[in-house]
């Protein structure tokens, strides 16, 4: 038996498909917990670096290595635990915004991992520490780029604003390079442009069921 579709039925179906596409496009971002993790760790680590560099609390230079190794372990371990506990049923997980946001942050993470591996090897082999002195402008710049792209693709105003602020902070970060105040600036940028937006995203995450 042949089933004929009326123009009205086809129009209704097309409208339904369009509504689904728009819903996916505007789905809230789900990476807030990861921003909170790295924003919080980076904020604390930069404050710790400043304290060690200033000789506060009698901390010796070896504390730099201990702190940053702990940072890496907590970051990687935290990412693993968050991914393991992340529900597959979260609405909007397959949206374009969430896919692009995850991809741009992943690429930024790979780049930073490669940079700091090179900086670490430079320090160990050649006793050269200058790559670390330029790390804050690069880190806050990548934070800004990732936040801005995520904000634009998902039409999320707080992320766009955070991205712009982080990218603008590259200017004072460069001006402060070589001073201990650079670490305080990096801490402030991580708190305002990564940690705070992460908390906002978490508060707007949908429940596991629609």
Total domains in the fold of the chain: 1
**157 inside domain:** yes
Report the pLDDT value the prediction gives residue 204, as an integer from 0 to 100: 86
Report the pLDDT value the prediction gives residue 185, as an integer from 0 to 100: 98
3-state secondary structure 1-53: CCCCCCHHHHHHHHHHHHHHHHHHHCCCCCCHHHHHHHHHHHHHHHHHHHHHH
**160 inside domain:** yes
Report the pLDDT value the prediction gives residue 94, as an integer from 0 to 100: 76
Report the pLDDT value the prediction gives residue 25, as an integer from 0 to 100: 54
Q: Is the separation of the CB atoms in 197 and 31 below 8 Å?
A: no
| Binned average pLDDT, 10 residues per bin, the chain of 210 residues | 57 51 64 96 97 91 93 96 79 82 95 94 89 92 97 94 98 95 98 98 73
**183 inside domain:** yes
Report the pLDDT value the prediction gives residue 5, as an integer from 0 to 100: 54
**161 inside domain:** yes
**210 inside domain:** no
């Amino acid at each position: 038996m042949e089933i004929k579709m009326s123009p009205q039925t086809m129009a209704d179906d097309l409208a339904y498909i369009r509504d689904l596409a728009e819903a996916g496009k505007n789905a809230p971002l789900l990476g807030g917990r990861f921003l909170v993790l790295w924003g919080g760790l980076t904020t604390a680590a930069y404050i710790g670096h400043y304290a060690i560099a200033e000789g506060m609390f009698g901390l010796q230079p070896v504390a730099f290595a201990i702190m940053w190794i702990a940072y890496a372990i907590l970051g990687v371990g935290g990412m693993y635990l968050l991914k393991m506990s992340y529900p597959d049923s979260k609405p909007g997980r397959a949206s374009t915004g969430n896919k692009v946001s995850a991809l741009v942050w992943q690429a930024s993470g790979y780049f930073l991992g490669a940079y700091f591996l090179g900086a670490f090897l430079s320090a160990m082999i050649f006793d050269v520490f200058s790559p670390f002195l330029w790390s804050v402008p690069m880190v806050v710049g990548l934070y800004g780029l990732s936040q801005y792209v995520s904000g634009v693709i998902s039409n999320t105003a707080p992320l766009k604003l955070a991205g712009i602020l982080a990218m603008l902070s590259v200017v004072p970060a460069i001006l402060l390079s070589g001073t201990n105040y650079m670490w305080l600036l990096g801490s402030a940028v991580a708190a305002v442009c990564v940690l705070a937006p992460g908390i906002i995203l978490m508060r707007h995450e949908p429940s596991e069921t629609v």
